[in-house]
């Protein structure tokens, strides 16, 4: 198992407005927390399968956050406010998922784990 280190992409940070220092710091702190969480999970994992399960839990958390921030965008626009920070956070979570899938050993295991969860939960016609 390779070490996995998630990071905040510089183009994303550079796209924030000048008054976005608080958001920049928050993003870096959040990613540090996710790195610590992932590191603990990978250290306690008993093999690649358990490591992938822990990583998939994190990915599912990221997917939930993406949906939440995506939902804020039209609401902010409707209120005449800029959705730039909601878009930045949404894009951060999407990039973190991509960073996890960049690890070949993990990508294959993630697909297996996701498929196993689908079968475990029951395949429905609406899932097809």
Q: Answer whether residue 6 is part of any domain.
A: no
Mean pLDDT of the chain: 89
pLDDT in tens, 85-105: 999 999 999 999 999 999 888
pLDDT at res. 112:
85
Place of tokens 């994190």: 58
pLDDT at res. 124:
60
Q: Answer whether residue 69 is part of any domain.
A: yes
pLDDT bucket at 128, cuts 50 / 70 / 90: low
Which token pair is 45?
Answer: 């994992």
| Residue 31, domain extent | 20-120
105: left (phi over 0), alpha (psi -120 to 50) or beta: alpha
| Angle between helices 84-101 and 104-121 in degrees, nearest 10 | 100
Question: Alpha-carbon distance 44 to 112, whole Å?
Answer: 20
Mean pLDDT value across residues 12-35: 93
31-55 CB burial, b ≥16 within 10 A, e <16: beebbeebeebbeebeebeebbbbb
pLDDT at res. 115:
82
Q: What's the total number of domains in the chain?
A: 1
Task: Look at 128 and 93; give whichever has higher pLDDT.
Answer: 93
Q: Answer whether residue 44 is part of any domain.
A: yes
pLDDT at res. 105:
82
Q: Answer whether residue 85 is part of any domain.
A: yes
Q: Answer whether residue 1 is part of any domain.
A: no
Task: Look at 11 and 106; give whichever has higher pLDDT.
Answer: 11
Mean pLDDT value across residues 43-70: 91
């Amino acid at each position: 198992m390779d070490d996995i280190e998630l990071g905040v992409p510089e183009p994303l940070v550079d796209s924030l407005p000048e008054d976005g220092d608080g958001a920049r710091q928050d993003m870096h702190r959040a990613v540090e927390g996710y790195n610590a969480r992932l590191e603990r999970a990978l250290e306690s994992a008993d093999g690649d399968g358990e490591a992938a399960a822990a990583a998939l839990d994190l990915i599912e958390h990221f997917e939930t956050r993406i949906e939440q921030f995506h939902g804020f965008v039209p609401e902010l626009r409707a209120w005449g406010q800029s959705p730039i920070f909601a878009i930045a956070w949404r894009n951060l979570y999407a990039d973190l998922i991509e960073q996890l899938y960049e690890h070949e050993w993990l990508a294959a295991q993630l697909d297996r784990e996701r498929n196993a969860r689908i079968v475990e939960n029951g395949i429905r016609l609406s899932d097809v």
